[in-house]
Amino acid sequence: MFGIPSSLPGSLFDELWQLQQEVDDLFGSWSPPLGIRSVPRGSFPAVNIGQTAERVHVYVFAPGIDPKSLDISIQQNLLTVKGNREIKVEADVEYYRQERFSGEFRRVISLPEDVDPERVHATYADGIVQIGVARRESPRPRQIHIH
């Protein structure tokens, strides 16, 4: 129904598509963030963040990266993950699209105000770094009795 009109050559659309891919490769494909805490598409590494009453859980998806080469730090309620990703590129291959970047990366993640930067634990398994940050115990209301 919406196919290529028979009067236009198919190669015209192929050339336009390839031009768009080259512009995306040159300038990056940009789309607006989905929310105030969202990051642009293609941010690396991808993260999932969840919380319980006791701690905040951060999952950093970093497959193929040696976990010992990651620099993970926390200052107040900002968690920073830095590293370097090397992608092997074969010299005799002419790439017309590369979506995985090679080089340094850095993600800064804002955590809730009540996290305790002294109580952080990180583990690595199957390309996922799991970081647990304990929350400070909130002061409980004290019941006052009238005498």
CA torsion 128→66→44→71, rounded to 10°?
A: 100
Per-residue pLDDT of the chain (147 residues; tens, 9 = 90+): 455 454 555 567 777 777 777 777 666 655 554 444 555 655 788 999 999 989 999 999 998 888 999 999 999 889 999 999 888 888 898 888 877 778 889 999 999 999 999 999 999 999 999 999 999 887 667 788 898
What is the pLDDT at residue 32? 52
pLDDT of residue 125: 94
Answer whether 87's CB lies under 8 Å from 100's CB: yes
Query: Could you tell me the domains of the chain?
Result: 41-88+101-138 (2.60.40.790)
d(CA 50, CA 101): 27
Nearest to 83 by CA among 58, 111, 62: 62
Predicted pLDDT at 27? 66
What is the H or E stretch that residue 131 is in?
strand 128-135
Structural contact between residues 80 and 47, judged by C-beta atoms closer than 8 angstroms: no
